[in-house]
Structure 1
Amino acid sequence: MMNKFFWYLLVGSIMLVSCSSSKSNSTNKLSDEELIDVVQRQTFRYFWEGAEPTSGAARERIHMDGIYPQDDKNVVTSGATGFGIMAIISAIDRNYVSRQEGVERLDKILNFLKYADRFHGAWPHWMHGETGKTKPFSKKDDGGDLVETAFVAQGLICVKQYFKDGSVQEQALSKLADELWKGIDFKWYTKGENVLYWHWSPNYGWEMNFPIHGYNECLIMYVLAAASPTYGVDAVVYHEGWAENGKIKANAEYKGIPLHIRHQGDPTGGPLFWAHYSYLGLNPKGLKDAYADYGAENTNQALINYQWCVDNPLNYKGYSENSWGLTASYSVKGYAGHAPNAHKDLGVIAPTAALSSIVYTPQQSIAAMRNWYENKKDKLWGEYGFYDAFSETADWYPQRYLGIDQGPIVVMLENYRSQLLWKLFMSDSDVQSGLDKLGFQYTK
């Protein structure tokens, strides 16, 4: 009887410890807010510890394996630098870094941009971080890139607004940001036509020949071109160029989820970054014009992207309601603009697609974030947050990052939490003038 008594006592103790441990694990599980904060803080490090040291600007890429294309390790990219500027503002506001540290870093970046190569006010796609000199993106793409420049300007306007009433040093930073974006000669990039052109080269002129018609990631460029008080364009450039006199409108749907603008002819929507890059500062919620309701359009693009991955018509391994997101990213063979259709879905998921869509699909985005963080952290998580892309089908998990994909994660997580960058950008009087000129309805 004594032995049986001790046996029951032992079993009871084990069960008590087990229950206590289970409760502890449950208690220690991160809340949604805590999880978002962990991801935002870790991803921000790409633009802080991971920045190119001379310029403070965002590196094009960081490969944890140390293998880079030739002379590419310290190449910075304009677009990601613009996103990084916005990420730093969010980090200051979250106390990830002190306000003074943030101001000093932003001052370094903006002075780099001030003295870097510019072509009629536009920065090139790539620059050498040590010198600010152009690194050609391709043979003839060795001059101004107006789209990447617009992403920089979006960040500069947020700097202007955030620091305009601050200390003497902060007001000087605000003034420099304002001067830099107002130095972009949008008129030059029309080539005298009613459309904006993507590139101009001092060596090849307009030979890239890329007039920008919607819909893609470039709406912000047309808004800023209309908003510029120094080199502004007429509204007709937007309506004839971007909207092609109304041809931008189209009706398509996937599983009952509608789209109302022409995503370059793709009825299921293009890569998901089209719903991110222009809208880091430009608030799509309540943003409407003659062609679309952009909050609804972007939400539906994200929902289609999600539903395609849930349906998984190509039977790729690992796609689910908790693992989804197709956009431009690293791919098993190089780089690709992944999208929800049979030709562009290559079995590669990019975390930035789902995470940066949190403002449109919070439930679905948080579910993916939690799944990847709790169940696949060993393969997907590193020094600067989630790696750029992965494929379970190909058993492919590269430990590599791209700046242009990391930036929207930080900024959209912040917009989901506080709308900080949206509030800053949309409060700018020049931006409001541009939106009014183009006939937008929006929330001030």
Structure 2
Amino acid sequence: MKLTFQILLIISITSGLNCTSNAQDFEVIKLAPPIKKGLSDNQLLDVVQKQTFQYFWDGAEPVSGLARERYHVDGVYPENDKNIIATGASGFGLMSILVGIDRKFITKKEGYNRLNKGLSFLAKAERFHGVWPHWMLPSGKPKAFGKNDDAGDLVETSFLAQALLCVRQYYANGNTEEKALAKKADELWKGIEWNFYRKNNENVLYWHWSPTAGWKMNFAITGYNECLITYVLAACSPTHGVPAEVYHQGWAKNGAINTNISLYDHPIKLKHNVVGEGVGPLFWAQYSYLGLNPKGLKDKYANYWEENRNQALINYDYAIANPKGFKGYGKNSWGLTASYSVKGYAAHNPQEDEGVISPTAALSSYPYTPKESMQVIRYLYEKLGDKVWGKYGFYDAYSETEKWFPERYIGIDQGPIVVMIENGRTGLLWNLFMSAPEVKTGLTKLGFESLAIK
């Protein structure tokens, strides 16, 4: 399957990055804070958000101030893979910094300085018709993600673009300095040439383009997976937008995106790009919705709040049923998504379960399943403790069956924890993104109903 290839390509070409900082403005945290039992839910959420936020603060790549692809506590990395900047994770990191400012993990000035540093880097980095690559080096040059995937990555760019809109809206009414930062975010957003990635005006968007390989990857983006935000932003762009037909014919495949199944008594109306009838990794219910508010979001294909909540509840009920008998599965340990795995990296889901729980899956589902997600947070923090808790929050994945507790992080998994918990608590990023005038216009153009555009 095309999407599985895109995800699992990581297995053979990446293993991680060293996160030691050599810049004075990057505080180095040597150890994880001690476990404190008996915290209230709000206190525990504060602790988890603050510590996970540090991945994008203390752990950022020092030249750019943006997110590293990954960080390994054990210091074991492949050669030349120590300073990779991840475009999608950087978008999640920019949104996390807004959370950090609002929750006073950092000062307003510190947050502004870091955001300005990151956006200045992005403005100088090499782009391909306005689109950033999947990975960048501190020089601003791309680092190939795979063969023929050495330049523009529209999906990773869309994850970054939703953050740019949030930054713009956050600072739009600020002082002179802050308005200049908002203007910089606006210029970067408006420079993305979404329409170019239609490949000669086809009514579908393509994931990649390279000046050396052209359209050789030939990866059309079709639903349903994590890429709804790509089509929404392409329709929203006031400078390089695409017509509604691209969404309906390309993403929705003229209605073939729909299905009608029920898993553990939870209906699913969108046909996930997985083998057979099932649901994909839980990040499909998260990455597109860090800024795009699924509450009240509907079009002729789905009610997106119900779809996302049902996907999370399917994971919850699946873990309780535990058909494969994995140790630890249950109401306190659930959530399958793409993450490290015992045998490398895998896009875990109920159809492809290897006994590995990824904390980001349940934690980033907090808006959909606050009670069920809190059960996981408390179990990980109070029961598994230091096995899964480190200086940047909970490690990426674990398996009680295999007694496997690697002390490693992946940026694109850490970011949604900070952002989605905040959305569940205050709606901060949802409110910022949905306040953008072009978002309201674009959603209306595509036939969406939303609380933000009523």
* TM-score category, normalised to shorter length: over 0.9
Structure 2 counterpart of 1:178: 186
Structure 2 counterpart of 1:33: 42
What's the CA shift for 1:427?
0.5
The RMSD of aligned alpha carbons is 0.9
Q: Matched residue of 1:329: which SS?
A: strand
Q: Is 2:89 the counterpart of 1:88?
A: no
Q: Is 2:365 the counterpart of 1:347?
A: no
Deviation digits for residues 359-399 of structure 1, max 9, x if unmatched?
Answer: 00111000000011001112000000000000111111100
Q: Which runs of 4+ in 1 moved over 2 A?
A: 265-268
The residue correspondences of 1:70-219 to structure 2 (distance < 5 A) are: 70-128=79-137, 130-191=138-199, 192-219=201-228
Larger radius of gyration: 1
Q: Is 2:226 the counterpart of 1:226?
A: no
Q: TM-score normalized by structure 2? A: 0.91
Q: Is 2:313 the counterpart of 1:303?
A: yes
Q: Matched residue of 1:330: which SS?
A: strand
How far apart in 1 are the matches of 2:436 and 2:356? 38
What's the CA shift for 1:268?
2.8
What's the CA shift for 1:117?
1.2
Unaligned runs of 5+ in 1: 1-26
What's the CA shift for 1:29?
1.0
Structure 2 counterpart of 1:412: 420
Q: For residue 126 of structure 1, what is the amino acid of its counterpart?
A: W
Structure 1 counterpart of 2:251: 242
Q: Matched residue of 1:376: which SS?
A: helix
What's the CA shift for 1:267?
2.8
Contact 1:235 1:438 (C-alpha < 8 Å) held by counterparts: yes
How far apart in 2 are the matches of 1:321 and 1:298? 18
Q: For residue 344 of structure 2, what is the amino acid of its counterpart?
A: G
How far apart in 2 are the matches of 1:69 and 1:415? 36
1:365 to 365, 373, 379: 373
Contact 2:37 2:382 (C-alpha < 8 Å) held by counterparts: no
How far apart in 2 are the matches of 1:241 and 1:138? 25
Deviation digits for residues 129-176 of structure 1, max 9, x if unmatched?
Answer: x21110000021001000000000000000000000111111000000
Q: Matched residue of 1:290: which SS?
A: coil
How far apart in 2 are the matches of 1:70 and 1:431? 42
Deviation digits for residues 202-247 of structure 1, max 9, x if unmatched?
Answer: 1100000000110000000100000000000000000000001100
Deviation digits for residues 56-113 of structure 1, max 9, x if unmatched?
Answer: 0000000000011221111010000000000000110111100000000000000110
**Once the two structures are aligned, what percentage of the paired residues are identical?**
62
Structure 2 counterpart of 1:17: none
Q: Is 2:343 the counterpart of 1:333?
A: yes
Unaligned runs of 5+ in 2: 1-35
Contact 2:360 2:414 (C-alpha < 8 Å) held by counterparts: yes
Q: Matched residue of 1:187: which SS?
A: helix
What's the CA shift for 1:28?
6.5
What's the CA shift for 1:256?
1.1
How far apart in 2 are the matches of 1:69 and 1:351? 25
1:50 to 59, 62, 66: 59
Q: TM-score normalized by structure 1? A: 0.93
Deviation digits for residues 253-301 of structure 1, max 9, x if unmatched?
Answer: 1121110010115533100000000000000011000100000000000
Structure 2 counterpart of 1:440: 448
Structure 1 counterpart of 2:31: none
Q: Matched residue of 1:395: which SS?
A: coil
Q: Matched residue of 2:340: which SS?
A: strand
